Structure 1
Amino acid sequence: MRQAAAVVPAGALLVVALLVGGCAGSAAPPPTIGGTPGGAAPADPGPAANPPGTPGSSSPFNGTDIAWLQLTVAMHERVLPLLDLVPERTTEPAVRQLAARVRDTHRADLVRSRRLLDRSGAPKTNPHEGHDMPGMMTANELNALGTVSDAEFRRLFGQHLREHLEQSVRIAGAEQRAGADRETTALAAAIVRTGTEYLTQLDGLHAE
Protein backbone atom coordinates (compact mmCIF):
# COMPACT_ATOMS: atom_id res chain seq x y z
CA MET A 1 0.00 0.00 0.00
CA ARG A 2 1.37 3.37 -1.04
CA GLN A 3 2.24 6.26 1.23
CA ALA A 4 3.14 9.78 0.08
CA ALA A 5 2.43 13.41 0.95
CA ALA A 6 -1.00 14.29 2.35
CA VAL A 7 -3.66 16.36 0.64
CA VAL A 8 -6.89 16.48 2.65
CA PRO A 9 -9.43 19.20 3.39
CA ALA A 10 -8.14 22.08 5.51
CA GLY A 11 -9.41 21.90 9.08
CA ALA A 12 -8.84 18.14 9.36
CA LEU A 13 -5.32 18.61 10.64
CA LEU A 14 -5.39 15.95 13.32
CA VAL A 15 -6.60 13.41 10.78
CA VAL A 16 -3.84 14.57 8.40
CA ALA A 17 -1.21 13.84 11.02
CA LEU A 18 -2.51 10.30 11.41
CA LEU A 19 -2.56 9.52 7.70
CA VAL A 20 1.18 8.79 7.90
CA GLY A 21 1.80 10.05 4.42
CA GLY A 22 -1.70 10.45 3.03
CA CYS A 23 -2.67 10.51 -0.63
CA ALA A 24 -0.29 8.93 -3.09
CA GLY A 25 0.72 10.79 -6.19
CA SER A 26 0.62 14.25 -4.60
CA ALA A 27 3.67 16.40 -4.04
CA ALA A 28 1.96 18.91 -1.76
CA PRO A 29 3.82 19.84 1.46
CA PRO A 30 2.32 19.06 4.88
CA PRO A 31 -0.23 21.58 6.18
CA THR A 32 1.03 24.57 8.14
CA ILE A 33 -0.41 24.85 11.64
CA GLY A 34 0.11 28.10 13.45
CA GLY A 35 2.81 29.07 10.94
CA THR A 36 4.87 25.93 11.55
CA PRO A 37 4.67 22.99 9.13
CA GLY A 38 3.69 19.78 10.91
CA GLY A 39 2.79 21.53 14.19
CA ALA A 40 0.28 20.22 16.72
CA ALA A 41 -3.31 20.20 15.53
CA PRO A 42 -5.99 22.03 17.52
CA ALA A 43 -8.78 19.95 19.00
CA ASP A 44 -11.40 22.04 17.21
CA PRO A 45 -10.24 23.95 14.11
CA GLY A 46 -13.26 26.29 14.29
CA PRO A 47 -15.27 27.78 11.44
CA ALA A 48 -12.35 29.72 9.95
CA ALA A 49 -10.53 26.45 9.29
CA ASN A 50 -13.50 24.65 7.76
CA PRO A 51 -13.02 23.73 4.09
CA PRO A 52 -15.13 25.58 1.49
CA GLY A 53 -18.66 24.27 1.30
CA THR A 54 -18.77 22.95 4.88
CA PRO A 55 -21.04 24.43 7.56
CA GLY A 56 -20.08 27.47 9.57
CA SER A 57 -20.01 28.01 13.31
CA SER A 58 -23.70 27.13 13.74
CA SER A 59 -23.11 23.55 12.59
CA PRO A 60 -22.48 20.74 15.08
CA PHE A 61 -19.79 19.44 12.69
CA ASN A 62 -16.21 20.65 12.64
CA GLY A 63 -13.53 20.09 10.00
CA THR A 64 -12.28 16.89 11.60
CA ASP A 65 -15.77 15.35 11.53
CA ILE A 66 -16.17 16.01 7.84
CA ALA A 67 -12.67 14.96 6.82
CA TRP A 68 -12.94 11.76 8.86
CA LEU A 69 -16.30 10.86 7.32
CA GLN A 70 -14.97 11.47 3.82
CA LEU A 71 -11.89 9.36 4.47
CA THR A 72 -13.91 6.57 6.11
CA VAL A 73 -16.19 6.38 3.08
CA ALA A 74 -13.19 6.21 0.75
CA MET A 75 -11.44 3.53 2.82
CA HIS A 76 -14.54 1.36 3.25
CA GLU A 77 -15.38 1.56 -0.44
CA ARG A 78 -11.86 0.42 -1.31
CA VAL A 79 -11.85 -2.64 0.98
CA LEU A 80 -15.27 -4.00 -0.03
CA PRO A 81 -14.02 -5.55 -3.31
CA LEU A 82 -11.44 -7.51 -1.28
CA LEU A 83 -14.15 -8.80 1.05
CA ASP A 84 -16.43 -9.66 -1.89
CA LEU A 85 -13.62 -11.69 -3.46
CA VAL A 86 -13.23 -14.08 -0.52
CA PRO A 87 -16.04 -16.60 -1.28
CA GLU A 88 -14.65 -17.38 -4.74
CA ARG A 89 -10.96 -17.43 -3.78
CA THR A 90 -10.82 -19.56 -0.61
CA THR A 91 -12.70 -22.48 0.87
CA GLU A 92 -11.45 -21.82 4.42
CA PRO A 93 -14.63 -21.43 6.55
CA ALA A 94 -13.09 -19.17 9.22
CA VAL A 95 -11.76 -16.72 6.62
CA ARG A 96 -15.07 -16.68 4.75
CA GLN A 97 -17.01 -16.07 7.97
CA LEU A 98 -14.75 -13.22 9.08
CA ALA A 99 -14.89 -11.58 5.64
CA ALA A 100 -18.71 -11.77 5.68
CA ARG A 101 -18.91 -10.15 9.13
CA VAL A 102 -16.51 -7.36 8.20
CA ARG A 103 -18.33 -6.78 4.91
CA ASP A 104 -21.73 -6.46 6.62
CA THR A 105 -20.34 -4.10 9.26
CA HIS A 106 -18.60 -1.92 6.67
CA ARG A 107 -21.71 -1.66 4.51
CA ALA A 108 -23.69 -0.49 7.54
CA ASP A 109 -20.90 1.98 8.42
CA LEU A 110 -21.02 3.34 4.87
CA VAL A 111 -24.76 3.99 5.13
CA ARG A 112 -24.25 5.90 8.39
CA SER A 113 -21.22 7.81 7.11
CA ARG A 114 -22.99 8.96 3.94
CA ARG A 115 -26.07 10.01 5.90
CA LEU A 116 -23.92 12.04 8.29
CA LEU A 117 -22.12 13.71 5.38
CA ASP A 118 -25.50 14.64 3.92
CA ARG A 119 -26.56 16.12 7.26
CA SER A 120 -23.30 18.05 7.55
CA GLY A 121 -23.89 19.88 4.27
CA ALA A 122 -20.46 18.87 2.97
CA PRO A 123 -19.99 18.78 -0.82
CA LYS A 124 -21.16 15.52 -2.40
CA THR A 125 -17.74 14.75 -3.84
CA ASN A 126 -14.98 12.32 -2.88
CA PRO A 127 -11.78 14.30 -2.23
CA HIS A 128 -9.83 11.01 -2.13
CA GLU A 129 -10.95 9.75 -5.55
CA GLY A 130 -8.07 7.96 -7.26
CA HIS A 131 -5.72 8.25 -4.26
CA ASP A 132 -3.86 5.26 -2.82
CA MET A 133 -3.55 5.92 0.90
CA PRO A 134 -2.53 4.03 4.04
CA GLY A 135 -5.11 1.34 4.73
CA MET A 136 -6.26 1.20 1.10
CA MET A 137 -5.57 -1.59 -1.38
CA THR A 138 -4.30 -0.55 -4.79
CA ALA A 139 -5.93 -1.80 -7.98
CA ASN A 140 -2.80 -3.82 -8.78
CA GLU A 141 -2.89 -5.51 -5.38
CA LEU A 142 -6.53 -6.44 -5.83
CA ASN A 143 -5.94 -7.78 -9.35
CA ALA A 144 -3.03 -9.91 -8.15
CA LEU A 145 -5.33 -11.76 -5.76
CA GLY A 146 -7.19 -13.30 -8.68
CA THR A 147 -4.27 -15.53 -9.69
CA VAL A 148 -2.72 -16.77 -6.43
CA SER A 149 -3.27 -20.07 -4.63
CA ASP A 150 -5.80 -20.47 -1.82
CA ALA A 151 -3.07 -20.39 0.83
CA GLU A 152 -1.40 -17.31 -0.67
CA PHE A 153 -4.76 -15.58 -1.02
CA ARG A 154 -5.46 -16.15 2.68
CA ARG A 155 -2.06 -14.75 3.62
CA LEU A 156 -2.49 -11.63 1.48
CA PHE A 157 -6.10 -11.20 2.54
CA GLY A 158 -5.01 -11.16 6.18
CA GLN A 159 -2.24 -8.66 5.43
CA HIS A 160 -4.45 -6.24 3.48
CA LEU A 161 -7.37 -6.47 5.90
CA ARG A 162 -5.07 -5.90 8.88
CA GLU A 163 -3.60 -2.74 7.33
CA HIS A 164 -7.10 -1.46 6.58
CA LEU A 165 -8.45 -2.20 10.06
CA GLU A 166 -5.44 -0.78 11.88
CA GLN A 167 -5.64 2.48 9.92
CA SER A 168 -9.42 2.66 10.36
CA VAL A 169 -9.10 2.25 14.13
CA ARG A 170 -6.29 4.82 14.26
CA ILE A 171 -8.16 7.60 12.49
CA ALA A 172 -11.45 6.76 14.22
CA GLY A 173 -9.64 7.25 17.52
CA ALA A 174 -8.55 10.68 16.32
CA GLU A 175 -12.15 11.53 15.44
CA GLN A 176 -13.27 10.49 18.92
CA ARG A 177 -10.77 12.93 20.45
CA ALA A 178 -11.19 15.87 18.08
CA GLY A 179 -14.64 15.58 16.49
CA ALA A 180 -17.58 17.78 17.48
CA ASP A 181 -20.74 16.08 16.21
CA ARG A 182 -21.98 13.51 18.73
CA GLU A 183 -23.42 11.07 16.20
CA THR A 184 -20.20 11.16 14.19
CA THR A 185 -18.00 10.52 17.21
CA ALA A 186 -20.38 7.70 18.21
CA LEU A 187 -19.82 6.11 14.80
CA ALA A 188 -16.08 6.49 15.30
CA ALA A 189 -16.36 4.71 18.66
CA ALA A 190 -18.25 1.86 17.00
CA ILE A 191 -15.56 1.55 14.31
CA VAL A 192 -12.83 1.43 16.96
CA ARG A 193 -14.75 -1.29 18.81
CA THR A 194 -15.55 -3.50 15.83
CA GLY A 195 -12.18 -2.91 14.17
CA THR A 196 -10.35 -3.99 17.32
CA GLU A 197 -12.57 -7.07 17.55
CA TYR A 198 -11.84 -8.03 13.95
CA LEU A 199 -8.10 -7.56 14.47
CA THR A 200 -8.27 -10.00 17.38
CA GLN A 201 -10.11 -12.48 15.17
CA LEU A 202 -7.41 -12.10 12.52
CA ASP A 203 -4.81 -12.94 15.15
CA GLY A 204 -6.80 -16.09 15.91
CA LEU A 205 -6.76 -17.15 12.26
CA HIS A 206 -2.99 -16.89 12.09
CA ALA A 207 -2.62 -18.79 15.34
CA GLU A 208 -4.47 -21.83 14.00
Structure 2
Amino acid sequence: MRAPVTVPMPLLLVAALVTGCATGSPVPARTTPPPAAPAAAAPPGPVPAIGTAGPTNQFSATDVAWLQLTVAMTERLLPVLDMVPSRTTDPAWRRLAARVGAAHREDLSRARRLLTESGAPATNPHEGHDMPGMVTDEELAVLRSSSGLAFHRLAGQHLRAHLAQSVRIGTAEQRAGLHPATTAFARAVVRAGNVELTRLERMDRPPIPGR
Protein backbone atom coordinates (compact mmCIF):
# COMPACT_ATOMS: atom_id res chain seq x y z
CA MET A 1 0.00 0.00 0.00
CA ARG A 2 1.31 3.44 -0.91
CA ALA A 3 1.81 6.05 1.76
CA PRO A 4 -0.72 8.92 1.58
CA VAL A 5 0.52 12.19 0.11
CA THR A 6 -0.42 15.72 1.09
CA VAL A 7 -1.90 17.59 -1.86
CA PRO A 8 -1.34 21.38 -1.98
CA MET A 9 -4.60 23.35 -1.99
CA PRO A 10 -4.03 25.04 -5.40
CA LEU A 11 -3.83 21.63 -7.03
CA LEU A 12 -6.91 20.40 -5.18
CA LEU A 13 -8.81 23.35 -6.66
CA VAL A 14 -7.47 22.53 -10.13
CA ALA A 15 -8.47 18.90 -9.72
CA ALA A 16 -12.02 19.97 -8.86
CA LEU A 17 -12.10 22.23 -11.92
CA VAL A 18 -10.65 19.67 -14.30
CA THR A 19 -12.89 16.81 -13.24
CA GLY A 20 -15.89 19.10 -13.56
CA CYS A 21 -17.45 17.71 -10.42
CA ALA A 22 -17.91 21.15 -8.84
CA THR A 23 -20.48 23.19 -10.76
CA GLY A 24 -21.02 26.04 -8.28
CA SER A 25 -18.87 29.01 -7.37
CA PRO A 26 -15.11 28.54 -7.03
CA VAL A 27 -14.04 27.11 -3.70
CA PRO A 28 -12.45 29.79 -1.49
CA ALA A 29 -8.84 29.24 -0.51
CA ARG A 30 -8.30 27.71 2.91
CA THR A 31 -6.15 29.26 5.56
CA THR A 32 -5.27 25.88 7.09
CA PRO A 33 -3.44 23.00 5.41
CA PRO A 34 -5.73 20.57 3.55
CA PRO A 35 -6.18 16.99 4.81
CA ALA A 36 -4.05 14.26 3.32
CA ALA A 37 -5.51 12.67 0.19
CA PRO A 38 -5.00 8.93 -0.36
CA ALA A 39 -2.91 8.12 -3.41
CA ALA A 40 -5.40 5.39 -4.30
CA ALA A 41 -7.62 8.10 -5.79
CA ALA A 42 -5.05 8.70 -8.56
CA PRO A 43 -5.35 6.75 -11.82
CA PRO A 44 -3.26 3.56 -12.01
CA GLY A 45 -0.02 3.46 -13.98
CA PRO A 46 3.06 5.69 -13.91
CA VAL A 47 1.32 8.64 -12.22
CA PRO A 48 3.50 10.24 -9.53
CA ALA A 49 2.29 12.12 -6.46
CA ILE A 50 0.78 15.47 -7.44
CA GLY A 51 3.24 17.29 -5.23
CA THR A 52 6.25 16.23 -7.30
CA ALA A 53 8.45 19.26 -7.95
CA GLY A 54 10.42 20.13 -11.07
CA PRO A 55 10.07 18.88 -14.66
CA THR A 56 9.08 15.26 -15.16
CA ASN A 57 8.23 12.93 -18.01
CA GLN A 58 5.57 11.23 -15.91
CA PHE A 59 1.89 12.10 -15.65
CA SER A 60 0.28 13.63 -12.58
CA ALA A 61 -3.31 12.97 -11.56
CA THR A 62 -4.16 16.46 -12.84
CA ASP A 63 -2.68 15.68 -16.28
CA VAL A 64 -4.74 12.51 -16.55
CA ALA A 65 -7.95 14.15 -15.30
CA TRP A 66 -7.59 16.98 -17.82
CA LEU A 67 -7.01 14.55 -20.69
CA GLN A 68 -10.03 12.46 -19.69
CA LEU A 69 -12.29 15.50 -19.53
CA THR A 70 -10.94 16.81 -22.85
CA VAL A 71 -11.85 13.50 -24.49
CA ALA A 72 -15.33 13.50 -22.96
CA MET A 73 -16.07 17.10 -23.93
CA THR A 74 -14.79 16.67 -27.48
CA GLU A 75 -16.84 13.52 -28.03
CA ARG A 76 -19.96 15.50 -27.06
CA LEU A 77 -19.17 18.44 -29.36
CA LEU A 78 -18.37 16.58 -32.59
CA PRO A 79 -22.00 15.49 -33.25
CA VAL A 80 -23.03 19.16 -33.16
CA LEU A 81 -20.42 20.11 -35.75
CA ASP A 82 -21.24 17.07 -37.91
CA MET A 83 -24.87 18.12 -38.34
CA VAL A 84 -24.03 21.64 -39.58
CA PRO A 85 -23.95 20.81 -43.34
CA SER A 86 -27.46 19.33 -43.22
CA ARG A 87 -28.94 22.11 -41.06
CA THR A 88 -27.67 25.28 -42.73
CA THR A 89 -26.47 26.59 -46.08
CA ASP A 90 -24.61 29.49 -44.44
CA PRO A 91 -21.04 29.32 -45.83
CA ALA A 92 -19.54 30.94 -42.72
CA TRP A 93 -21.07 28.29 -40.46
CA ARG A 94 -20.00 25.49 -42.79
CA ARG A 95 -16.43 26.76 -42.81
CA LEU A 96 -16.43 27.11 -39.04
CA ALA A 97 -17.79 23.60 -38.49
CA ALA A 98 -15.28 22.07 -40.90
CA ARG A 99 -12.34 23.91 -39.34
CA VAL A 100 -13.27 23.33 -35.70
CA GLY A 101 -14.32 19.74 -36.38
CA ALA A 102 -10.99 18.87 -38.02
CA ALA A 103 -9.02 20.51 -35.21
CA HIS A 104 -11.03 18.76 -32.51
CA ARG A 105 -10.63 15.37 -34.15
CA GLU A 106 -6.88 15.90 -34.07
CA ASP A 107 -7.14 16.96 -30.42
CA LEU A 108 -9.18 13.86 -29.62
CA SER A 109 -6.55 11.58 -31.17
CA ARG A 110 -3.78 13.42 -29.33
CA ALA A 111 -5.57 13.20 -25.97
CA ARG A 112 -6.24 9.49 -26.43
CA ARG A 113 -2.59 8.82 -27.31
CA LEU A 114 -1.41 10.65 -24.19
CA LEU A 115 -3.92 8.77 -22.03
CA THR A 116 -2.63 5.48 -23.40
CA GLU A 117 0.91 6.60 -22.64
CA SER A 118 -0.11 7.54 -19.09
CA GLY A 119 -1.42 4.05 -18.35
CA ALA A 120 -4.86 5.37 -17.37
CA PRO A 121 -7.88 3.09 -17.91
CA ALA A 122 -9.41 3.21 -21.39
CA THR A 123 -12.90 3.69 -19.94
CA ASN A 124 -14.50 7.14 -19.91
CA PRO A 125 -15.00 8.22 -16.26
CA HIS A 126 -17.38 10.98 -17.42
CA GLU A 127 -19.78 8.67 -19.27
CA GLY A 128 -23.32 9.91 -18.64
CA HIS A 129 -22.18 13.07 -16.88
CA ASP A 130 -23.62 16.44 -17.90
CA MET A 131 -21.03 19.02 -16.93
CA PRO A 132 -20.10 22.54 -18.04
CA GLY A 133 -19.07 22.57 -21.70
CA MET A 134 -20.78 19.27 -22.52
CA VAL A 135 -23.74 19.00 -24.90
CA THR A 136 -26.50 16.80 -23.46
CA ASP A 137 -28.55 14.22 -25.36
CA GLU A 138 -31.63 16.41 -24.94
CA GLU A 139 -29.81 19.40 -26.44
CA LEU A 140 -28.68 17.30 -29.39
CA ALA A 141 -32.28 16.24 -29.99
CA VAL A 142 -33.38 19.90 -30.08
CA LEU A 143 -30.57 20.72 -32.53
CA ARG A 144 -31.63 17.90 -34.84
CA SER A 145 -35.10 19.44 -35.09
CA SER A 146 -33.76 22.94 -35.79
CA SER A 147 -32.45 24.65 -38.90
CA GLY A 148 -31.45 28.05 -40.20
CA LEU A 149 -31.21 30.90 -37.69
CA ALA A 150 -32.59 28.81 -34.82
CA PHE A 151 -29.90 26.23 -35.42
CA HIS A 152 -27.19 28.90 -35.65
CA ARG A 153 -28.24 30.33 -32.29
CA LEU A 154 -28.31 26.99 -30.48
CA ALA A 155 -25.16 25.63 -32.09
CA GLY A 156 -23.36 28.88 -31.31
CA GLN A 157 -24.36 28.67 -27.67
CA HIS A 158 -23.07 25.09 -27.35
CA LEU A 159 -19.84 25.79 -29.21
CA ARG A 160 -19.19 28.92 -27.16
CA ALA A 161 -19.79 27.06 -23.88
CA HIS A 162 -17.50 24.25 -24.99
CA LEU A 163 -14.69 26.56 -26.06
CA ALA A 164 -14.93 28.72 -22.92
CA GLN A 165 -14.76 25.66 -20.66
CA SER A 166 -11.89 24.22 -22.70
CA VAL A 167 -9.93 27.45 -22.25
CA ARG A 168 -10.73 27.46 -18.53
CA ILE A 169 -9.59 23.93 -17.77
CA GLY A 170 -6.71 24.12 -20.24
CA THR A 171 -5.38 27.15 -18.38
CA ALA A 172 -5.65 25.21 -15.11
CA GLU A 173 -3.72 22.31 -16.64
CA GLN A 174 -0.95 24.64 -17.81
CA ARG A 175 -0.54 25.95 -14.29
CA ALA A 176 -0.71 22.66 -12.39
CA GLY A 177 0.13 19.87 -14.84
CA LEU A 178 3.50 18.12 -14.72
CA HIS A 179 3.80 16.16 -17.97
CA PRO A 180 5.51 18.42 -20.57
CA ALA A 181 3.69 17.07 -23.62
CA THR A 182 0.33 17.36 -21.86
CA THR A 183 0.85 20.92 -20.66
CA ALA A 184 2.04 21.86 -24.17
CA PHE A 185 -1.15 20.30 -25.55
CA ALA A 186 -3.20 22.33 -23.06
CA ARG A 187 -1.42 25.49 -24.20
CA ALA A 188 -2.37 24.75 -27.82
CA VAL A 189 -6.00 24.06 -26.83
CA VAL A 190 -6.22 27.37 -24.97
CA ARG A 191 -4.70 29.31 -27.85
CA ALA A 192 -7.01 27.73 -30.45
CA GLY A 193 -10.05 28.12 -28.19
CA ASN A 194 -9.48 31.83 -27.76
CA VAL A 195 -9.10 32.28 -31.52
CA GLU A 196 -12.38 30.48 -32.23
CA LEU A 197 -14.21 32.40 -29.50
CA THR A 198 -13.14 35.65 -31.17
CA ARG A 199 -14.36 34.40 -34.53
CA LEU A 200 -17.71 33.38 -33.03
CA GLU A 201 -18.09 36.84 -31.52
CA ARG A 202 -17.53 38.42 -34.92
CA MET A 203 -20.08 36.10 -36.52
CA ASP A 204 -22.66 37.13 -33.93
CA ARG A 205 -22.30 40.84 -34.65
CA PRO A 206 -25.01 42.24 -36.96
CA PRO A 207 -23.67 43.65 -40.25
CA ILE A 208 -23.08 47.39 -40.34
CA PRO A 209 -25.17 49.10 -43.07
CA GLY A 210 -23.12 50.34 -46.00
CA ARG A 211 -20.25 47.91 -45.42
TM range (shorter): 0.7 to 0.9
1:9-158 equivalences in 2 (<5 Å): 13-18=12-17, 22=21, 34-35=34-35, 48=39, 51-57=42-48, 60-158=58-156
Deviation at 1:70, TM superposition (A): 0.3
Q: Distance in 2 between matches of 1:18 and 1:52?
A: 17
The answer (yes or no) to whether the contact 2:63–2:177 under 8 Å persists in 1 is yes
Amino acid at match of 2:152: R
**Gap change, CA 1:163 and 1:188, over 3 Å in 2:** same
Q: Distance in 2 between matches of 1:192 and 1:21?
A: 17
Deviation at 1:52, TM superposition (A): 4.2
Tell me the SS of whatever aligns to 1:203: helix
Q: Distance in 2 between matches of 1:110 and 1:19?
A: 16
Q: Distance in 2 between matches of 1:98 and 1:166?
A: 16
Deviation at 1:146, TM superposition (A): 1.6
**Gap change, CA 1:50 and 1:61, over 3 Å in 2:** farther
Tell me the SS of whatever aligns to 1:145: helix
Deviation at 1:128, TM superposition (A): 0.3
Q: Which runs of 5+ in 2 are unaligned?
A: 1-6, 24-29, 49-55
Amino acid at match of 1:112: R
Stretch moving more, 193-202 or 144-153: 144-153
The answer (yes or no) to whether the contact 1:168–1:195 under 8 Å persists in 2 is yes
Tell me the SS of whatever aligns to 1:154: helix
Amino acid at match of 1:185: T
The answer (yes or no) to whether the contact 2:18–2:66 under 8 Å persists in 1 is no
Q: Which runs of 5+ in 1 are unaligned?
A: 1-10, 25-31, 37-44
Amino acid at match of 1:149: S
Q: How many residues align?
A: 182
Deviation at 1:169, TM superposition (A): 0.5
Deviation at 1:15, TM superposition (A): 3.5
Deviation at 1:59, TM superposition (A): 6.0
